[in-house]
Structure 1
Amino acid sequence: MTLSLALCLDAPMQSWGIRSRFTTRETTTEPTKSGVVGLLGAALGISRDDQAALSELAALRMGVRVDREGILERDYHTAQNVPTTAGSGHRTVVSQRYYLADAVFLVVLQNEDTELLTRAAEAIQRPHWPLCFGRKSFLPARPLITSGRADHLRTGAGLQEKPLETVLAEHQWLETCPLAHQRELKAIEKGKTGTLRSMVECHPSTPGAEPRRDQPLSFARGDRRFTSRAVLSGHVPLTPSLISAGEPRVPEQAHH
C-alpha cells in the first residue's frame, strides 16, 4: 500500500536555507528536504545525534506544492562584542538574514513504511519539541494536519492512501482568503486556469531533473553534512474542485 502524509506549512515568516556564506543567511523559495526532516525529527523527539532514526526520515520521498508564493524579505542582526579571529579584541558583526513572508506550502511525504508515516502524523499533532519553520521564532500559523473537526481551518489532510503525485494534484488549495478563491473562480469562468508551482523528488535520470543539495546526511553538532537529490519542477492546475474543496473559514467579527 502506498501511503502519503500531507502537511500544511503556513507561517508569517519561514526560512529554508541550503547554504550560508559568512554573514549572509539565504533561503530557498520552498521548503527544503533537510528542513522538513528536521521538523519531523523535532515532532518525534529524535536527537540530532541519532543517525539511524534521522536516516529513516531522510529516506522519505518529498513533494512540495506552492499554494501561496512568499515574499522574499531581508532583516539585519547585530551582534556586539564578538571576539576577533586573532583574539586580540572585539567587534560588532552585522548579518543579513533572508526569509519568506506570508508563504503557504503543501508538503507531501511518501514511503512504503506505513508505520513510520503513521508515527510521524501522530507526532506532528502532539510534538515532542516545538515545531518551527527554519528558525525557532518562525512558528506555524495553523495546525499542520487537520484534527477532523468540522469548524477547523483547511489544512493538511494528513495520511492518505494515495501516491504523492495524486495528493499534490487533488489536495484542497490551502489558501484561506475568500477573495482569492473568488478571483480564481472568476478567472476560470473566463477560461483562464491558474497553476500552482510544484517540486517533486525524482530519480536522477528523469528528464528535466535538477540537483538540490538539501538531502541530509548528518545533523550532529560540528558535523552537519548534506548531499544532492534530484527534483522535478512542474505545475498543478488550480481547478474548481481544489478551490472549492471545503469553504475557507471567515473569522468571526468581535462583538462590542
Structure 2
Amino acid sequence: MTSSPTTPPQPTGDRAVLLLRLAGPMQSWGSRSAFNRRETNPEPTKSGVIGLLAAASGLAREDPLDELIPLSLGIRVDQPGSLLRDYHIVSDYRGRPLPQAGVSTKGLQKPTSPAKNTHVTTRYYLQDAVFLAALAGHRSVIEALDQAVRAPAFPLALGRRSCPPTQPLSLGLREGSLEDVLREEPWQASRRVREQYAAQCGRDRGADGPLYPARLDRSVTLEDPSGDDVLHDAPVSFDPYTRSFTSRRVRHTWLRIPTGFPQPDTTATDELAGPAEHDPFALLGW
C-alpha cells in the first residue's frame, strides 16, 4: 500500500501579510440583498475585500480569481462605527407606472396593478467605522497586491461604489501569522475616538484627567479551517452571469493590541495595561 504524495510545507519566507486600513465616511459590506433592501454586515466580508483587490489589480468581472481566492483573511474591528439607514424612493422619470418584479413566460415585465408610481427601497451603511484587514498569501502575490492598492487600475470602494476609502489604505507588508500581525499592529482608530477612550479611562479610574493605557482589547475574526463559525462570503466568480460564492470557516476572538499612546515610563505602562484577562468577579471585590 502506497501513501499519496504530500506537498512539503512552504518556508515562512515565501509568505507575507498585507495590511489594509479600511476607513471612510461610509462602508457597506452586504452578504445578501433583496430588490428593496440592501443590508450591511458589522465588519468587512471576504467577497468585499477580494473585490477591492480585484479592482485595484485591474481585473474585469469575468476574469478568474485564481490568485485571490487562496488568500487568508483576518479582520480586526478598531472602530465599529454606527449603523445608518438610508431611505430611497424609486420612480420612472417618464412618469410611467413601475413594472412588477416578476416576468412573464416571454420574459417581459408587466406593469403593477393597481399602478404603482413609486417604490421604497432601504439601504444600510456603517458610518465612521475603521477596520484592519490582514491578507496572508504567497509573497509575490502579496507584493503585487500592495503595489496595486497604492496605484489602483479602477476606483476602489468599501463594499459599494458610493463608499470611497480614506488614506492611507495600504499599511504595507508584515511577517508572521494573521493573528500575530493583528495583535501587534497599533490601534488605527481616529484621533477623536482615541481621545474619548483616554478620557473614559481617566473617569473609570478616578483620575483628574485622561489616562493612556498601553494596550486595549479589540475583536478579531480569523479565517481558520478548524474555526467554529461558517461565513458564506468567499467569492468564486464575480461574473454577472455566473456569480457564485462558497463558505469558509472562521474563528472569533479578542486580541490585546497596542494603543500607540506615548508611554512616559515602564511602570506607568505596566499599571495602565490592565490585567491580561477579564475577571468577572473583580467588581465584587473577590
Q: TM-score, normalised by structure 1?
A: 0.81
Does residue 1:107 correspond to 2:133, yes or no? yes
Does residue 1:244 correspond to 2:261, yes or no? yes
**Count of aligned residue pairs for this structure pair:** 227
Deviation at 1:171, TM superposition (A): 0.3
State the match for 2:87 in structure 1: 76
- Return the alpha-carbon distance in structure 1 between the equivalents of residues 262 and 164 of structure 2: 26
Deviation at 1:164, TM superposition (A): 1.3
On the 8 A contact 1:55/1:217 being kept in 2, the answer is no
- Return the alpha-carbon distance in structure 1 between the equivalents of residues 19 and 200 of structure 2: 23
Alignment of 1:205-224 (within 5 A): 205-206=226-227, 209-224=228-243
Partner of 1:173: helix, strand, or coil?
coil
**Fraction of identical pairs, as percent:** 39
Equivalent of residue 6 in structure 1, options 19, 34, 37:
19
Partner of 1:183: helix, strand, or coil?
helix
On the 8 A contact 2:72/2:135 being kept in 1, the answer is yes
Deviation at 1:77, TM superposition (A): 2.0
- Return the alpha-carbon distance in structure 1 between the equivalents of residues 262 and 29 of structure 2: 29
Does residue 1:57 correspond to 2:52, yes or no? no
Q: Map Cα deviations across residues 63-95 of structure 1 (whole Å, 9 max, x no partner).
A: 000000121111122211232344235642211
- Return the alpha-carbon distance in structure 2 between the equivalents of residues 107 and 28 of structure 1: 15
Alignment of 1:108-187 (within 5 A): 108-111=134-137, 113-145=138-170, 156=171, 158-177=172-191, 178-180=194-196, 182-183=198-199, 186=202
- Return the alpha-carbon distance in structure 2 between the equivalents of residues 217 and 245 of structure 1: 44
State the match for 1:42 in structure 2: 55
Q: Map Cα deviations across residues 109-161 of structure 1 (whole Å, 9 max, x no partner).
A: 001x111110100010000001111111101122202xxxxxxxxxx3x1112
Distance 1:117 1:184, change over 3 A: farther
Q: Which amino acid aligns with 1:136?
A: R
The structure having more radius of gyration, on CA atoms, is: 2
Does residue 1:225 correspond to 2:244, yes or no? yes
Deviation at 1:193, TM superposition (A): 6.3
Partner of 2:148: helix, strand, or coil?
helix
Deviation at 1:13, TM superposition (A): 0.4
Deviation at 1:245, TM superposition (A): 7.4
Of the structure 1 ranges 219-228 and 75-84, higher mean CA displacement relative to structure 2 is found in 75-84
Aligned alpha-carbon RMSD (Å):
2.4
Q: Which amino acid aligns with 1:166?
A: D
On the 8 A contact 1:173/1:245 being kept in 2, the answer is no
On the 8 A contact 2:175/2:181 being kept in 1, the answer is no
Q: TM-score, normalised by structure 2?
A: 0.73
State the match for 1:200 in structure 2: 222
State the match for 1:98 in structure 2: 124
